[in-house]
């Protein structure tokens, strides 16, 4: 059975990749359908401008295939994507690849910072609550996390914006200057000041769930019979929680890690719009408003890719922690 483990894991990964490709193709097709069903299009706004002739409108319609059925648009987009071309934005008159390249780094930076903070703080709060179950500390942590869970990310972002002036933190953008400062340390500090509020707003979407999930996983591990026996043998509470219970809780926590990675983008898109963070969230908002269909589809694909990558990371890590997963 050991000799077949690499083959089983390879089959598992191939199946995940094929399933992800099918899901992404289905997401793109449904996105084209929804855009086609929505009333109006990009040309309606152009037609309201008397300076734009009918011939120009017809040329734009033919150039981008805006008058074709949604499945024809999907086929043309799929062929371009297979050739490594993400298409052109007819609103910005630029390749979509360039637009994504300019903003993707900002979105990744925001999400990585938010993910790191959410997990560090969430696991610490969950461990503290699990170690002191039934105490005032446990009650306070559960009350705070429950309140955050019931608060939408957009509300958290607005509250943080209201506090920004009092805290002396900047609002919007990634830097106070158009170009990076010659002083590297000063530039990093400036970037951190601009990143702090958006990262806190995005982290607030997952931190309470991580804390509660950690508390539940650690609490379930502590209630196991062998844990009770270990406590009876004189093992201290700190060692029991930090070593033995944490080891038992790894599988559920690893599975939740993939879920948190896949769900970060959905929260960051809203925060980017509210806090004027120059990432793909604000770009997606503008693209939807102006019916830039190919840009919208590519951005939806990126969000779906992030979701699938997060799920795959969780599955792979879970299979490494528990090899029985690949045989399920």
203 half-sphere exposure, CB direction, 13 A CA radius: 22
CA atoms of 89 and 227, how far apart (whole Å)? 59
CA atoms of 17 and 6, how far apart (whole Å)? 17
| 37 within a domain of the structure (yes/no) | yes
215 half-sphere exposure, CB direction, 13 A CA radius: 24
Average pLDDT (24-32) is 84
| pLDDT at residue 3 in the model | 46
Q: Residue 122: how many CB atoms within 10 A of its CB?
A: 25
List the alpha helices (DSSP H) in the chain. 5-37, 42-47, 54-64, 70-82, 96-131, 136-149, 153-167, 184-203, 207-222, 225-232, 237-239, 246-248, 250-274, 280-289, 293-321
| 301 within a domain of the structure (yes/no) | yes
Q: 67: helix, coil or strand?
A: coil
Tokens in use for 159?
């509250």
Nearest C-alpha neighbor of 298 from the set 87, 101, 110: 87
Considering the entire predicted model, what is its pTM?
Answer: 0.76
Find out whether 199 and 113 touch, Cβ atoms under 8 Å.
Answer: yes
Which residues lie across from 94 on neighbouring strands? 89
Above pLDDT 90, what percent of the chain?
A: 4
Q: Does 140 score more than 90 pLDDT?
A: yes
Tokens in use for 157?
């972002």
Whether 163 and 45 map to the same domain: the answer is no
Tokens in use for 147?
């309140």
Q: How confident is the model at residue 18 (pLDDT cuts 50, 70, 90)?
A: confident
Most distant CA pair in the chain: distance in Å? 87
Residue where one domain finishes, among candidates 95, 130, 147: 95
Whether 202 and 173 map to the same domain: the answer is yes
DSSP one-letter code for 223: T
Residue where one domain finishes, among candidates 95, 113, 132: 95
Whether 166 and 282 map to the same domain: the answer is yes
Q: Which residues form the domain of 197? A: 102-323
CA atoms of 323 and 328, how far apart (whole Å)? 9
Whether 119 and 68 map to the same domain: the answer is no
| pLDDT at residue 318 in the model | 65
Residue where one domain finishes, among candidates 69, 95, 121: 95
Tell me whether residue 136 is exposed, middle or buried, using C-beta atoms within 10 angstroms of its C-beta: 0 to 12, 13 to 18, 19 or more: exposed
Whether 83 and 152 map to the same domain: the answer is no
- Over residues 255-288, the pLDDT tens digits come to 777 777 767 677 788 888 888 888 888 888 888 8
Looking at 30-39, 45-54, 185-194, which range is the least confident one?
45-54
- What does residue 201 show for φ and ψ, rounded to 5 degrees? -65, -40
Average pLDDT (77-100) is 81
CB neighbour list of residue 182: distance below 8 Å, 6 or more residues apart: none
CA atoms of 202 and 8, how far apart (whole Å)? 37
| pLDDT at residue 1 in the model | 41
CB neighbour list of residue 207: distance below 8 Å, 6 or more residues apart: 117, 118, 121, 122, 125, 145, 148
Q: Residue 215: how many CB atoms within 10 A of its CB?
A: 25
How many domains does one find in the chain? 2
DSSP one-letter code for 240: I
Q: How many residues does the chain have?
A: 328
Whether 18 and 50 map to the same domain: the answer is yes
Whether 83 and 108 map to the same domain: the answer is no
Q: How confident is the model at residue 121 (pLDDT cuts 50, 70, 90)?
A: very high
Say which CATH number the domain at 280 has. 1.10.3720.10
Average pLDDT (54-75) is 78
Nearest C-alpha neighbor of 40 from the set 291, 278, 316: 291
CA atoms of 34 and 297, how far apart (whole Å)? 11
């Amino acid at each position: 059975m050991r000799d077949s483990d690499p083959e089983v894991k390879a089959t598992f990964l191939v199946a995940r990749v094929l399933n992800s490709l099918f899901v992404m193709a289905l997401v793109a097709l449904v996105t084209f359908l929804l855009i086609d069903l929505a009333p109006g299009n990009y040309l309606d706004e152009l037609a309201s401008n008397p300076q734009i002739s009918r011939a120009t409108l017809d040329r734009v319609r033919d150039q981008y295939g805006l008058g074709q059925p949604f499945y024809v648009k999907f086929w043309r987009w799929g062929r371009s994507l297979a050739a490594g071309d993400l298409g052109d934005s007819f609103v910005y008159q630029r390749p979509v690849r360039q637009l994504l390249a300019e903003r993707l780094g900002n979105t990744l930076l925001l999400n990585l910072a938010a993910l790191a903070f959410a997990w560090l703080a969430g696991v610490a709060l969950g461990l503290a609550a699990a170690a002191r179950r039934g105490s005032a500390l446990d009650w306070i942590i559960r009350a705070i996390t429950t309140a955050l869970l019931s608060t939408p990310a957009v509300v958290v972002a607005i509250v943080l914006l209201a506090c920004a002036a009092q805290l002396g933190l900047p609002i919007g953008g990634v830097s106070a200057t158009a170009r990076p400062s010659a002083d590297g340390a000063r530039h990093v500090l400036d970037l951190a000041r601009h990143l702090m509020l958006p990262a806190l707003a995005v982290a607030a979407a997952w931190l309470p769930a991580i804390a509660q999930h950690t508390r539940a996983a650690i609490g379930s591990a502590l209630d196991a019979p062998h844990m009770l026996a270990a406590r009876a043998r004189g093992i201290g509470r700190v060692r029991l929680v930090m070593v033995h219970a944490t080891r038992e809780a790894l599988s559920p926590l690893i599975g939740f890690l993939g879920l948190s990675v896949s769900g970060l983008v959905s929260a960051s898109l809203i925060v980017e719009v509210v806090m004027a963070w120059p990432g793909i969230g604000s770009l997606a908002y503008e693209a939807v408003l102006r019916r830039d269909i190919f840009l919208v589809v590519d951005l939806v694909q990126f969000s779906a890719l992030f979701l699938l990558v997060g799920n795959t990371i969780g599955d792979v890590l879970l299979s490494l922690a528990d090899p029985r997963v690949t045989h399920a």
